[in-house]
């Protein structure tokens, strides 16, 4: 028999790993998920809530087909050999995960299974083009996205994979899933969007029917639901990337204008960023904690604890920054434009190490994905590959005016400013303090002066670069 080990691919359809497991033998496949303490150590309440919801959905999917998802607790390198012996397993199949921690775990699992004479097979599933498959003339991965994108875009994509037939799945019965508290996690402060296979498919269908044609225009406006919100699904694998891509290709075929078609391409480009960062991380696993660029230890981070707390709480007195930080806390998600802004504010205006911000995002994002999160933080902190130049510091007032002109997004998450006119909201840091107190007594004054902090950040980076 074959054991299929689900990890971050919590679905039955368009699952290359599961399809491979089914193709290996005429015997039915036994599906399993392992709650591994080594991995859970890096989890958080909101992500465990998403994981359990996705697993519940996956279990239901198997039960509708007369099978079940086995669940086990313990280190995967102990649990899988035990399950393999219990179910008389010849081979264990799983889909590759490219982070350093995952690869370390997978090496331990492979060694333990092979010691017991059980074969291991892995497939590439999470991204279209695996690390090492798109390379520059010299080196193992691209460091500049635009070059990567050109090759990624032109490369043929795989078709979605059919789900296995019901009789290819073993008639097993699993234990109930552990609860969040049994796994040792508190109730999350955020209520994240639903993360199931059905919700993912609904989201793709809806997004590709119409909003995708406005994506190029709307994607930077946080008050509009103009992006796909697929990130939690891609993180947990409740939808396959081939299925997503195919839906975008169908949308491109239905496009009526060049603008529509270009908008679809703009969306596909973002899918390519996800793969670019997966490649960067696969070949540079140390960048989870170290700067990608040379100036490790040279940047004089200040790490003021009060300023860090104000940033986390959404109490900086910069309305768009605070709106983003509060969206994160309440939904476990934040709009991309605002992620860039709050990350710039932390690393430049506050001169706080990007690792502090990464750690907060890691704990609070439902879609936290190591490659994208590290990539995003090192981009904003100007320490990454193809990063924001250190001298281009986002102005949170201008950005608020440009991308949330009516302050609808700000008012949604900062209710203290609900009755304040949009222009005055954007002017908030420059208002006289008496005026601020009259308008919104419970909303804070700006904790820093952006102009001064911008100069300070540029000087600090120049010093770190030896200029």
Ligand X SMILES: Cc1cc2nc3c(=O)[nH]c(=O)nc-3n(C[C@H](O)[C@H](O)[C@H](O)COP(=O)(O)OP(=O)(O)OC[C@H]3O[C@@H](n4cnc5c(N)ncnc54)[C@H](O)[C@@H]3O)c2cc1C
Contacts with ligand X: how many residues (CB under 6 A)?
A: 28
- For residue 277, how far is the Cα from the chain centroid? 11
Q: Is 274 within any annotated ligand binding site? A: yes
* Binding residue for ligand X, selected from 59, 141, 339, 454, defined by CB under 6 A: 339
3-state secondary structure of 306: helix
Q: How far is the CB of 438 from ligand X (least distance, A)?
A: 35
Total Cβ atoms within 10 A of residue 283: 16
Q: How far is the CB of 85 from ligand X (least distance, A)?
A: 37
Interacting residues with ligand X between 347 and 366 (CB under 6 A) = 361, 365
* Binding residue for ligand X, selected from 93, 168, 320, 380, defined by CB under 6 A: 380
Q: Is 231 within any annotated ligand binding site? A: yes
- Which C-beta is closer to ligand X: that of 203 or that of 454? 203
Q: Is 378 within any annotated ligand binding site? A: no
Residue 228 engages ligand X in binding (rule: CB under 6 A):
yes
Q: How far apart are CA 292 and CA 375, in angstroms?
A: 9
11: phi > 0 → left, psi -120 to 50 → alpha, else beta; which?
Answer: beta
Determine phi and psi for 9, rounding to 5 degrees.
Answer: -130, 70
- Which C-beta is closer to ligand X: that of 96 or that of 369? 369
- Which C-beta is closer to ligand X: that of 20 or that of 279? 279
Residue 121 half-sphere exposure, CB side, CA atoms within 13 Å? 18
Q: Contact at 8 Å (CB) between 325 and 342?
A: yes
* Binding residue for ligand X, selected from 77, 110, 238, 372, defined by CB under 6 A: 372
Q: Is 289 within any annotated ligand binding site? A: no
Residue 368 engages ligand X in binding (rule: CB under 6 A):
yes
Interacting residues with ligand X between 265 and 324 (CB under 6 A) = 270-271, 273-274, 277
Residue 230 engages ligand X in binding (rule: CB under 6 A):
yes
* Binding residue for ligand X, selected from 94, 318, 377, 413, defined by CB under 6 A: 377
Residue 163 half-sphere exposure, CB side, CA atoms within 13 Å? 16
Q: How far is the CB of 68 from ligand X (least distance, A)?
A: 30
Total Cβ atoms within 10 A of residue 106: 19
Stretch that binds ligand X, among 20-28, 85-93, 152-160, 224-232 (CB under 6 A): 224-232
Stretch that binds ligand X, among 40-48, 316-324, 374-382, 450-458 (CB under 6 A): 374-382
- DSSP codes joined into one string, 394-419: --HHHHHHHHSTT-HHHHHH-GGGTT
Instruction: Give the CB-nearest residue to ligand X.
Output: 376
Residue 373 engages ligand X in binding (rule: CB under 6 A):
yes
Q: Contact at 8 Å (CB) between 364 and 46?
A: yes
Q: Is 24 within any annotated ligand binding site? A: no
* Binding residue for ligand X, selected from 122, 135, 193, 336, defined by CB under 6 A: 336
Distances (CA, A) of 206 to 1, 137, 198, 458: 39, 40, 12, 43
- DSSP codes joined into one string, 57-102: HHHHHHHTTT---EEEES-HHHHHHHHHHHTT-SEEEEE---SHHH
Total Cβ atoms within 10 A of residue 67: 25
Q: Is 253 within any annotated ligand binding site? A: no
Q: Is 230 within any annotated ligand binding site? A: yes
Q: How far is the CB of 358 from ligand X (least distance, A)?
A: 8
Q: How far apart are CA 391 and CA 242, in angstroms?
A: 38
Q: Contact at 8 Å (CB) between 22 and 29?
A: yes
Distances (CA, A) of 203 to 110, 190, 424, 458: 36, 20, 36, 41
Q: Is 272 within any annotated ligand binding site? A: yes
- Which C-beta is closer to ligand X: that of 110 or that of 228? 228
Provide the token pair at 96: 């590759």
- Stretch 200-219: interaction string toward ligand X, x if CB under 6 A: -------------------x
Provide the token pair at 391: 């001298």
Q: How far apart are CA 257 and CA 59, in angstroms?
A: 43
Interacting residues with ligand X between 232 and 271 (CB under 6 A) = 234-235, 270-271
Binding site for ligand X (CB under 6 A): 219, 227-231, 234-235, 270-271, 273-274, 277, 336, 339-340, 343, 361, 365, 367-369, 372-373, 375-377, 380
List the binding residues for FAD. 215, 227-231, 267, 270-277
List the binding residues. 215, 227-231, 267, 270-277
């Amino acid at each position: 028999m074959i054991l299929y080990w689900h990890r971050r691919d919590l679905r039955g359809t368009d699952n290359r790993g599961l399809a491979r497991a089914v193709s290996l033998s005429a015997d039915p496949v036994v599906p399993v998920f392992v709650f591994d303490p080594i991995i859970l150590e890096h989890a958080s309440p909101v992500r465990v809530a998403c994981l359990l919801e996705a697993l519940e959905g996956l279990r239901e999917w198997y039960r509708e087909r007369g099978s079940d998802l086995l669940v086990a607790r313990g280190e995967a390198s102990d649990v899988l050999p035990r399950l393999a012996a219990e179910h008389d397993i010849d081979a264990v199949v799983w889909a590759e995960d490219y982070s350093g921690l995952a690869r370390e775990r997978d090496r331990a699992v492979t060694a333990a299974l092979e010691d017991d004479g059980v074969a291991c097979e892995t497939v590439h599933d999470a991204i279209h083009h695996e690390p090492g498959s798109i390379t520059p003339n010299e080196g193992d991965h691209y460091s500049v996205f635009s070059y990567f994108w050109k090759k990624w875009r032109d490369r043929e994509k795989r078709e979605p994979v059919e789900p296995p037939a019901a009789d290819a799945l073993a008639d097993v019965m699993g234990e109930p899933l552990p609860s969040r508290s049994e796994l040792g996690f508190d109730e999350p402060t955020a209520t994240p969007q639903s993360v199931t296979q059905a919700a993912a498919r609904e989201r793709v269908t809806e997004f590709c029917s119409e909003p995708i044609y406005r994506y190029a225009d709307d994607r930077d406006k946080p008050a509009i639901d103009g992006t796909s919100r697929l990130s939690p699904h891609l993180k947990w694998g409740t939808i396959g990337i081939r299925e997503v891509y195919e839906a975008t290709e169908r949308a491109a075929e239905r496009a009526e204008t060049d603008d529509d078609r270009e908008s679809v391409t703009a969306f596909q480009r973002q899918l390519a960023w996800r793969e670019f960062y997966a490649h960067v991380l696969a070949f540079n696993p140390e960048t989870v904690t170290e700067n990608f660029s040379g100036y490790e230890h040279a940047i004089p981070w200040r790490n003021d604890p009060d300023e860090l707390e104000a940033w986390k709480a959404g109490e900086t007195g910069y309305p768009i920054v605070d709106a983003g930080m509060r969206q994160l806390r309440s939904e476990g998600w934040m709009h991309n434009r605002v992620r860039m802004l709050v990350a710039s504010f932390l690393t430049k205006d506050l001169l706080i190490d990007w690792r502090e911000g990464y750690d907060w995002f890691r704990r609070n994002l439902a879609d936290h994905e190591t490659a994208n999160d590290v990539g995003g933080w090192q981009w904003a902190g100007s320490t990454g590959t193809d990063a924001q130049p250190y001298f281009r510091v986002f102005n949170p007032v201008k950005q608020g005016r440009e991308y949330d002109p009516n302050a609808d997004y700000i008012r949604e998450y900062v209710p203290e400013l609900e009755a304040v006119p949009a222009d005055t909201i954007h002017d908030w840091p420059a208002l006289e303090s008496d005026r601020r107190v009259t308008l919104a007594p419970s909303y804070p004054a700006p904790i820093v002066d952006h102009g001064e902090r911008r100069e300070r950040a540029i000087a600090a980076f120049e010093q770190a670069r030896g200029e």
